[in-house]
A and B are shown apart, each in its own frame.
Chain A
Amino acid sequence: SQTIHQWPATLVQPVGSPLSLECTVEGTSNPNLYWYRQAAGRGLQLLFYSVGIGQISSEVPQNLSASRPQDRQFILSSKKLLLSDSGFYLCAWMRTGLNEQFFGPGTRLTVL
């Protein structure tokens, strides 16, 4: 069976500090991978998606970047966090053609 891991679960960071959130998927190969953010009082916003190693598509201009160094690893980064980066970050994967996304447990990021 497939599982998806995210860490850390919670994170409190000062403004201007770097960020690295990691997501890994087990039990499948060549999945599509996604990073979403839910800001306070808002819906899920797609930040990045990847259809393969090294392939990253950015959906909204922002202070964040993503990388996919391995088939089942997806990393969300920032060089300098802003207050507006606070939110709940979800990683998801999808098997092409299945049309259903499976979500990880999420990371609650608070930037102070």
Chain B
Amino acid sequence: ILNVEQSPQSLHVQEGDSTNFTCSFPSSNFYALHWYRWETAKSPEALFVMTLNGDEKKKGRISATLNTKEGYSYLYIKGSQPEDSATYLCAFQRSGSSNTGKLIFGQGTTLQVKP
């Protein structure tokens, strides 16, 4: 059984705070690590797909890092805004799954940003 764990489960921050959360995944048979944002009443949307150890990706105020050797990824949000409130999901893609695209999702971190 492959475990993908996210922490914390939920997070409440004030507007303007910077925050980060963790995704841990198996350090063997790695192919890719995905981050999705899931806002209430919407569909999950892809943020990043990361494939190389040491990868850093950035989209606006959101960035992510990847360590495949130790099996973790961090997602950072700089200067959180109320519109950042959402559940952030990471998903592990195992080697050999490039054709199937099978993803194993973590439970998510739910972020609430208070104005």
A-side residues, CB < 8 A to B, are 32, 34, 36, 42-46, 49, 51, 57, 59, 90, 94, 96-97, 99-106
The verdict on A32 contacting B100 (CB below 8 Å), with A44-B105, A100-B49 known, is yes
A43–B107 touching, CB < 8 Å: yes
- In the assembled complex, the Cα of A94 lies from the Cα of B102 at a distance in Å of 10
B6, B89, B93, B108: the one within 8 Å of A99 (CB): B93
B contact face: mostly helix, strand, loop, or mixed: loop
Number of interface residues of B (CB under 8 A): 24
* B:74-106 near A, CB below 8 Å: 89, 91, 93, 98-106
B-side residues, CB < 8 A to A, are 4, 6, 32, 34, 42-46, 49, 89, 91, 93, 98-108
Residues of A within 8 A of B107 (CB): 42-43
The verdict on A99 contacting B98 (CB below 8 Å), with A43-B106, A45-B105 known, is yes
